[in-house]
Amino acid sequence: MRRRPLDWLTIVNVATALAILLAIAVAVHAIRLLIVGQAWTVVSEVPLSEATQEAPEVASVEHGPYPAAAVPLLAATVLLAGLLTRQMPLAWIGMMGLLVFSVLFLFSSGAMLLPVVGLLLILLSIITLPARKREAPDSTAKNVG
């Protein structure tokens, strides 16, 4: 029993499904950052006279809303809308928004998005490639007339 090789349509469908799942994951993470916020450590200064007594709590972790997360939420929404409606220019605009955010915020919340953006870049290239092949005119055809 021979196995059938994968055709481009199957590969494009799998890539589209993975890209949609990744866009949803980015949107959920951005919503979490907007609501719960990003954690940061707050260190309080201990006066020298109190240092000899019982050790006070020096550091604590606080959460606060992260308004910059609205940018990846908007970009993921645009990417998702482009993928679901099969409008690839719209999907690429959302992808570029995520890429710009992840580069600008590289040393904070953008670092988490950078691997996801790289994978999305590969998936969108796979999705876009067959559409570009269909739109390209046949170079071997001769004009008659």
**Tell me: the pLDDT tens digits for 17-58?**
999 999 999 999 999 999 988 777 777 766 666 555 665 666
- The residue ranking higher by pLDDT, 109 or 139, is 109
- The reply to whether the predicted model has a pTM over 0.85 is no
> Does 25 map to a domain?
yes
Residue 129 lies in a domain: yes
Predicted confidence (pLDDT) at residue 123 exceeds the cutoff of 80: yes
What does the pLDDT read at residue 110? 84
Please check whether residue 46 lies inside any domain of the structure: no
How many folded domains does the chain comprise? 1
Helix (H) or strand (E) holding 59: strand 59-64
Helix (H) or strand (E) holding 61, with range, is strand 59-64
Of 124 and 138, the one with more pLDDT: 124
Residue 107 inside a domain? The answer is: yes
Distance, in Å, from the CA atom of 74 to the CA atom of 27, rounded to the nearest integer, reads 8
Q: Could you list the residue range(s) of the whole structural domain that residue 126 is in?
A: 8-37+66-134
Instruction: Give a yes or no: residue 48 inside a domain.
Output: no
Give the H/E segment covering residue 20: helix 8-35
Q: Does residue 141 sit within a domain?
A: no
Nearest alpha-carbon partner for 27 in 93, 95, 74, 85 = 74
Tell whether 78 is covered by a domain: yes
| Token pair recorded at residue 4 | 């059938």
**pLDDT digits over 85-116, tens only?**
999 999 999 999 999 999 999 888 888 899 99
